[in-house]
Amino acid sequence: MTEGNFVDYVKMHVTSGNGGKGSAHLHREKYIQKGGPDGGDGGRGGHVIIRGNSNLWTLIHLKFKRHIKAGHGEHGSSGRSTGADGEDAIVEVPLGTVVRDTETNTILFEITEDGEEKIVAEGGKGGRGNWHFKSSTNQTPRYAQPGIPHEEKDITIELKVLADVGLVGFPNAGKSTLLSVLTSAKPKIADYEFTTLKPNLGIVKYRDFQSFVMADIPGIIEGAAEGKGLGYYFLRHIERNSILLFLIPADAKDIVEQYEILVDELRRYNPEMLDKERFVVISKSDMLDDELKSEISTILDKDLECQYMFISSVAQQGLTKLKDKLWKMLND
């Protein structure tokens, strides 16, 4: 998927349908005097429904749809005929989509299952026909209920990618390279910072035809909470990950300090993210000899609060061991 096709944030205006009017018709037929009321009910207005679709991965199909309108209910008619219901407007979204009320910024609901449906704007109820109001004291009611008006609101649709492992690191730490080696994904890779501008997903194949999903997001820098770099706009894509995989290059000046900066930025974005399992990978370790690895390991054993591993995506070093470790963490 190209960067331009990855859309994860859409605003739109949704309008449900009006309920149909009830009929105030009086029965007229040859040889029948005073046939009485026989007006039917109005039809229900159409709902605006959000439906989950597991075949979708992005909101690109909604990028240019700013207004969604459902059909109006038909009016009731004679012979107690009920008007037809208005046509529902179905908006299909990927799994992991959160729907908010734009005005209040409150979360209305989220879609996590294929085929799951939620009504975001309810259609108006149809009015009752005059035959509902007949009685011994009011045998010819000449009135009926109007339909209930439509409902409209502005909503914001956000996609939070569903993945098992999320890659976290500074720009140019080797996240996209690792994703391209472990999966069939083809993220953009180059030797400058912020090569990745949109999240990438890949499926890591494991033994016995098993697999898990890995997500790569744009790099984080110190001060992302204040909007530096690309900010933390994309951090919502790793909120639902089971494991946070921190990538720190072997040529970093201070591996422990970089790890602590990344953890602090996650804490400032959402403190609950620190409750997730964490694992540190020292990338580009093909540049290190055994003596340097031993020295770095001594420092990390003393100062790093979580487990770590040396790998090299280019030299294909430690990747099988990494997959084994991640699989074990996911299943424990």
Strand pairing report for 308-310 and 243-249: unpaired
- 242 annotated as ligand-binding: no
- 171 annotated as ligand-binding: yes
- 173 annotated as ligand-binding: yes
- 274 annotated as ligand-binding: no
> What backbone torsions phi and psi does residue 276 show, to the nearest 5 degrees?
-75, 160
- 275 annotated as ligand-binding: no
Q: For 126-254, where are the alpha helices, taking DSSP H only?
A: 175-182
Rg of the chain over CA atoms, in angstroms? 29
Place of tokens 């219901």: 85
- 196 annotated as ligand-binding: yes
- 172 annotated as ligand-binding: yes
Largest CA distance in the chain: 109
- 219 annotated as ligand-binding: yes
- 292 annotated as ligand-binding: no
- 301 annotated as ligand-binding: no
- 312 annotated as ligand-binding: yes
The DSSP symbol for 183 reads: S
- 197 annotated as ligand-binding: yes
- 218 annotated as ligand-binding: yes
The number of helices, as runs of H, and strands, as runs of E, in the chain is 4, 14
Q: Taking a C-beta distance cutoff of 8 angstroms, is the pair 183, 259 a contact?
A: no
- 284 annotated as ligand-binding: yes
- 279 annotated as ligand-binding: no
- 285 annotated as ligand-binding: yes
Quote the CA–CA distance of 322 and 281 in Å, as a whole number.
9
Q: Smallest Cα–Cα separation from 322: which of 200, 217, 181, 192?
A: 181
- 194 annotated as ligand-binding: yes
- 313 annotated as ligand-binding: yes
- 180 annotated as ligand-binding: no
Count of residues in the chain: 332
Q: Would you state the structure tokens that stand for residue 325, as one six-digit string?
A: 């470790």
- 169 annotated as ligand-binding: yes
- Known binding residues for GTP are 169-176, 194-198, 216-219, 283-286, 312-314
Q: Which residues are annotated as a binding site?
A: 169-176, 194-198, 216-219, 283-286, 312-314
* Known binding-site residue numbers for Mg(2+): 176, 196
